[in-house]
Amino acid sequence: MQSIMGSVDTHGLDQYDHDDLGFETHARSSRKLRKYRKYLSIITLMVITTTSSVLAYWLYEDLIYFFRSTTPTDLGNAEDLDRQNLEHNSHVRIEGIARDMCIRADRFWRSVKYLYLLGSRTGARTIVETPGNKDEPCLGALESIFEGRLTRIDQPGKYKHVVQYYRAQFAKAPVTGAIYMLEDGKRPRTYWKIPVLFLVLLAVWIVNIRTIWRLWN
């Protein structure tokens, strides 16, 4: 019996422990690769989700304005403007004379010029952005009815250089305090791309959050 057991060659069995064909090594590599891809997917989705959240935040006030009443708040004549009536992100109507600031610029879908209202201290706090050709001469002053979106712009943003130029070049410009921009012609329920884009970003956010949750679990 001992001779039979002693004759068993165990050297061949030891060879299987070395995984000469590499099945176990390949399996470990595959698991590591799947884990790497999983975490890479999660990180990518988190970046996309964060980006869509930031864009939605930037569009938030535009979305609110889109649903404002199409009937503007009549603030009357620029000479009688009351500072307390200037509400950020509101739809307003102002009648009066505005001085041309001799600034021409391209704003996305249109060319514009900038003016400021005359007649009162509050009017001097209100810059008007109205359609204007880049080659149009500086007219001095313009009497009109201005209707559109009123926003506060003395904070850092896309109108920073306009505010700086205004305060540096015009004696009537308030040195400190709020400055407002009236975007003449920009009325609620006009720019449908705003709610459409907001809904797209919201859908992307929801889908990504659900996908991240499934991958994580």
SS3 90: strand
**Phi first, then psi: what are they for 148, rounded to 5°?**
170, -155
pLDDT in tens, 140-155: 899 999 999 999 999 8
Helix (H, G, I), strand (E, B) or coil at 108: coil
3-state secondary structure of 132: coil
pLDDT, position 192: 93
Phi, psi values for residue 99, rounded to 5°: -90, 135
Helices (H), 8-114: 11-17, 23-66
Helix (H, G, I), strand (E, B) or coil at 182: strand
Chain segment 16-47, per-residue pLDDT in tens: 455 555 556 656 667 777 777 888 888 998 99
Average pLDDT, integer, range 160-171: 93
Tokens read off for 125: 């706090």
Q: What is the pLDDT of residues 57-103, one digit of tens each?
A: 999 999 999 999 999 999 999 999 988 889 999 999 999 999 999 99
Please state whether beta strands 126-131 and 180-184 pair in parallel, antiparallel, or not at all (unpaired). Answer: parallel
Between the CA atoms of 82, 157, 174 and 91, what dihedral angle is there, to the nearest 10 degrees? -20
Q: Which uninterrupted H or E stretch holds 206?
A: helix 193-216
Residue 1 confidence class, pLDDT cut points 50, 70, 90? very low
Residue bearing tokens 């938030």: 60
